[in-house]
Amino acid sequence: MRASIALYLLLSAGSVSAQVYKIDSNDDIIAACKSLAYDLMSYYHGNESGQTPGILPGPPPAGDYYWWEGGALWGAMIDYWHLTGDDTYNDVVTQALLWQVGPNRNYMPPNWSASLGNDDQGFWGMSAMLAAEENFPNPPDDQPQWLALAQAVWNTQADPDRHDSTCGGGLRWQIPFSNNGYDYKNSIANGIFFNLGARLARYTNNQSYADYADSTWDWVVNVGLMDKDYNIFDGAHVEKNCTDINRAQFSYNNGVFLLGAAYMYNFTGESKWQDRVNGLINATFNVFFPNDTAYEVSCEEHMTCTTDMLSFKGYLHRWMATTTQIAPFTADTILPVLKKSAQAAVNQCTGGTDGKTCGFQWSSGVFDGSVGAGQTMDVLSAVSSLLIGQSKAPVTNSSGGTSVGDPNAGIGSGNIGDDLPTITTADRAGAGVLTGVIILTAAAAFGWMGTGK
């Protein structure tokens, strides 16, 4: 036993002394980000001859990644550009985001209908929204514009038919009714719709987006997917009237609702949103930041995480960092924890032949051998978010935003393809990140469904 402890301490000390990423100054952080971004983009081949722009290798069995994670990647890379000023990858990001818009320019490409959920579509929409908010270089005039793309995604998800009466409303998990999981309503689908509505309200100063966001929050609470302590649970089935709530908790659910609530506070100035922001921060720290280090509670202990789950920490870091700009009263609470978590992240980046490969289990202090685009994106997001205090806050159309919008974008464009039955917006309701049922061990303490493909 003593020998094991000594070996662990030796390995831990070695990992710190061999640390390759420093985050002690802005220059250190930017240098680390450039290296991490390079490593992350090595997983992407869509800009190579014969490959498909926009997507990471997949979907299984062709590769590890489903369509949605490509959309998430471009959000991380837009933030990378915004925070560091490095435009090395901007052309690649623009090509990727425009290639996957689909024939109706609403991020519903027919090729991905078999794994297309509302959250999948929504992740691409959130990246387009981020491009508008951060004044990412606009596409050519003959191409769809960032704001219009975000509005198209929101409009297709706001169609009344998509919010059917089962469980009193809310979005379903999957978009086509033939997909497994169409009978499931979950937090991430509704959280993204809430998030996009709040951000569009602020950007356009249009109250109707905020009204939808407000009612979406109320539905999530009333159906029991968020409890009084701001714990957010995965989802429930419509045939059970959403009474069989799966109580698994995932960090990106907290992140997407927290950022949306911060935008609602910024837009409305209402005290109820300040209270909700504070409640979500407390719940997020209690569940997902033991010892001030990001931890994916439903799968990390026994490493039962799916490829999808391995990317969630990064979204949480990014969205919490942006929260400090949108709701500045949160900065003193959030930023010190994000700094400690980022330090833990870089401490374990000691693997691979180059001695700087990053794993997933940050709290261990040592490289765990778990590698991939999600793991690298997590660390890049954690480190780049440390620059949030030196960056400009998200803009609006009245505070410097240049992206051209179209409030009617996406309306009536819900069909996935002519080769499929007509899919109403009700049929498209309720995504999650496409997933099957995973039953974890009793030690893992959760049964999970609704977020992994």
Return the pLDDT at 355: 86
Least confidently predicted of 161-175, 290-304, 364-378, 424-438: 424-438
Residue of 287, 293, 302, 380 lying closest to 336 (CA atoms): 293
Global pTM value: 0.89
Do the Cβ atoms of 137 and 200 come closer than 8 Å? no
Give the residue-averaged pLDDT of 66-87: 98
Residue of 203, 207, 112, 216 lying closest to 157 (CA atoms): 216
Least confidently predicted of 87-96, 174-183, 315-324, 379-388: 174-183
Q: Is it the case that residue 9 has pLDDT exceeding 70? A: no
Return the pLDDT at 6: 39
Do the Cβ atoms of 323 and 199 come closer than 8 Å? no
Question: What is the Cα Rg of the chain in Å?
Answer: 21
Return the pLDDT at 353: 86
Return the pLDDT at 289: 98
* Structural domains of the chain ordered from first start: 25-449 (1.50.10.20)
Q: Is it the case that residue 430 has pLDDT exceeding 90? A: no
d(CA 428, CA 197): 18
Q: Is it the case that residue 10 has pLDDT exceeding 50? A: no
Return the pLDDT at 115: 83
Least confidently predicted of 18-27, 61-70, 279-288: 18-27
pLDDT tens sequence across 344-359: 999 999 998 888 999 9
């996009």: which residue's tokens? Answer: 196
Return the pLDDT at 273: 98
């169409």: which residue's tokens? Answer: 182
